[in-house]
Amino acid sequence: MKIFALMKAVPDTESVIEVKDGSIDTSGLTYVINPYDEYAIEQALQTRDKIKDGSEVAVVSVGGENARKTIEKTFGLGIDMSYQLSDPAFEDLDPLGVAQVLASFFKQVEFDMILAGRVGVDDDQCQVAVMLAELLGIPHIAVATAADADASGALTVEQEVDAGKQVVGLNLPAVVTVQKGINNPRYASAIMIMKGKKKPREIWDAAKVGFTPDGKACEVVEYIAPPQREAGRMLTGELEETVPELVRILSDEKKLV
């Protein structure tokens, strides 16, 4: 079975994001594997190790140098190979553009299952994997809390719903986005890092992918930093004194009551 995990390079969640002249200031930012994609990679590895029989896990990422650096880290987890889709035409794409690039790539390779994190923590749009499945004409299951595939190509997926859990069965190929908690992502090991240096890595430009984006379906006009929060105020004294004062602040000063 050929299992792919989509991976996105995102700013470290502990980074301080600054907005300058309507754009994100990326200077000095450290990029990491999108945290939700770590669960997708782990699920791909567990599925490979369960099925065996020549199964492989490949990571694919759209992006330049930041993507390359994060791909390097995935080899320490035990993936078998990687694909970096990198071209100046692929820079600053909207979700549809990324999905179109990925769809053109997947139409040229063999795959059985595509796993991805349910969301990228940078733009929080939750669109690429869904669009990819639609462009490929294959089923998609979102926000999985469990996913079990077997060598016959049958896939069973659990999702959390309002009433409890929903179990969905389908046949591969399919796209599945996973939720935090589906597994416990492993840490990179020195042995895997050394072995990873010998594993195949491919870089595909727009000509090899066979697709060059032409415009965007969604254009970001401007980024605006949230206003600075006012310092909190502590009311001291007896309840009979603080409650009227709180009501006065909410009604007269804040105009909330």
- Residue 163 confidence class, pLDDT cut points 50, 70, 90: confident
Distance CA 204, CA 234 (A): 58
**Annotation: CATH topology of 2-209:** Rossmann fold (3.40.50)
Chain segment 1-47, per-residue pLDDT in tens:
999 999 999 999 888 888 888 888 888 889 999 999 999 999 999 99
**How many Å apart are CA 234 and CA 214, to the nearest integer?**
55
Report pLDDT for 184.
Answer: 96
* pLDDT tens, residue by residue, 94-137: 999 999 999 999 999 999 999 999 999 988 888 999 999 999 99
Q: pLDDT per residue over 205-245, tens digit each?
A: 999 999 998 888 888 888 888 888 878 888 888 888 899 88
- Which residues have C-beta within 8 Å of that of residue 162, sequence separation ≥ 6? none
pLDDT at 71 over 80: yes
Domain boundaries, the chain: 2-209, 227-257
Averaged pLDDT for residues 139-168: 92
Of the candidates 3, 99, 56, the one whose C-alpha atom is nearest the C-alpha of residue 199 is 56
